[in-house]
Structure 1
Amino acid sequence: MITALLTEGQTVSEVAARYGVHRSWVYRLKARYDDEGEAAFEPRSRRPLTSPSAIPDATVELVLRLRKELADAGLDAGADTLCWHLRRHHRVVISRATAHRILVRHATVTPDPSKRPKSSYIRFEAEQPNETWQSDFTHYRLTTGADVEIITWLDDHSRYALHVTAHHRITGPIVLDTFTTAAAEHGYPASTLTDNGMVYTVRFAGGRGGRTRLEVELRRLGITQKNSRPSHPTTCGKVERFQQTLKKWLRAQPRQPATITALQALLDTFTDEYNHRRPHRSLQHRATPSAAYTTRPKATPGERHSDTHDRVRQDKVSKTGNLTLRHNGRLHHIGIGRTHAGTYVRLLVQDLDITIVDTPPARSCAS
């Protein structure tokens, strides 16, 4: 249009008719060209001069400041958590979508398309506190280079961290001791859920060995024991997610622990923060685990009298006339008599009732 006006010498009416625009637009374009020259050809922003519904700059700055403070402290700093802190501590209410847009606009969110969408998971949650306790342990390296392990007992319903302690190495007796300590403070659960590690269960070890101390104690108390299938870590996803949150917080601390005592002090600090002051995005109304754990009545153990431990073993009487049998995590010696030394036997075991049958080994036939 500018070329038609200035080079071809057409009138404003002719240009407007030629390009199908109003004459006033041709006049405005000509005036802009007279004032700005070639810059008049650049596209102009269509953003309105005012936006009454826009989030105030002070709120945007507050969101970004909270995001940095929480992230530096090693705590969750997602949009849901930010909205909770704004509402509870600053009396500012914005939607989750608004908070997320602010984070994206200021490049504080790193997209990860490879993540599996949350909608693809099948979520389950216990209806009552103490209905199910999840447990797992994770490795941690001190600044001295020494490796230690951290065990956690977590309530499935409320995500309440019941017990978090550090040890040089997690063993079967330590698992039982930590469970008993947590139960002494919070009451016994109706069931437990762990992976199939040997410190928790020997169910997947072929059925030859005796039950662990934890398995024996759970059966005595009437507590149902549940274990995830091999290669299915998401079954115990709540406690594993807790461990990720814990390690993220530990990495953010200015002073890393050099001793197991210093590490335990940090674990106690984090557990208190996690249980009582940190909102949990998976809980209703973004409640804290402590609030969710104390709101509803707690479940209690049932009975497992019909749940016996049955197994069959092949063995050979030793030279001293003994057989060995593992029970409750300990190896016991059963006296048969020296007269039976070297005899092959079969043990039919049901809890503490043992039947020993003389079973000579089958002889191979030579061709």
Structure 2
Amino acid sequence: MKMKKIALLAVFLLIYLVAIPLVFRDRPYFLRVLTTASVLSVISAGVWLIFYIGRINIGQGAFALVGGYTSAILVSRLGCSFWTSLVGAILVTVLLSVLIGMPLLRLKGVYFSMITLSLTETARLAAQSFPSITNGAKGILNLPLPGALSVGGLTLIPDFSAVDKHLAFYYLGACFLIIGFAALYRIVNSRLGWLFRSLQQNEDLASSFGVDVPRLRVIALAICAAFAGAGGAFFVTMHQSVYPASFTVQDSTYFLLYCFLGGLGSVWGALVGTFVLFISFEMLQGLNQYQPLIYSLIMIGMMLWLPNGLLSLKLPWGRRRFLCAPDPQDEGEEGR
């Protein structure tokens, strides 16, 4: 089984890192679509983690917008490099999530969801209301491409303006995707992940066993915000601009749909759901007014026949738990 897992990952990386760039290197539109899907997958991964602790986050667009503006302000106003602004975007969004998470995470169910829904609109209005910092509705334009990243005189990443920027962003998006989901998989399969799962099962019972429930909630939201901050900074730099409407309530809703489509029981659900839904949405653009209808029919069909997501399908290469979050009952059965 372990060899099958390694072989499957190797095939995926070979296609993603070698085959696709070779086939589409002269077709920048397709590279841009795949790059965007990679970044949106990382942002959606944060939403999936909040699902993992038993909450529904409809405010991921707010954290992505904050991360994007933080990166843009650091680059355009303070002259920082993209790599420095990326770290700054993650730190600012994590700090913001901790500040608002401590009071908000006390709410449960629909109340928490509704409050997070208002966060994205609050972030958009804040971006419009402080033109001296954010340039208001005009946004921040003409952001420079990422420069070279060197460590000890060794250039790890070249200057994007000196190479094919579409391929450069594609590979950077691939790095974001691989690192992001590797981190998420590691978190879920660690002690911290098991504690997160206990919150999903029964917060009161977990608290009675000495689990610091409020602290774990804040940690989960901070990780979620870090994913959004990094994705927002990448998205803004790729488009070389940011506006108050760069991430809206609709985007926050899409992040939820990506997770639902892929499957909430799987670490990889956000990745699969994002690629399938976003790419299919792009393919339907040529249908003009029929696009929303077909899109809606696809979603209705998914809810009727695959309510647990695409990864609930039986896979031909073996046990489904390879793709899914670990189940304590499965572990107990193995032990017996």
The TM tier, using the shorter chain, reads under 0.3
| TM-score, length basis structure 1 | 0.24
Higher helix share: 2
Q: Which has the larger radius of gyration?
A: 1
| TM-score, length basis structure 2 | 0.25
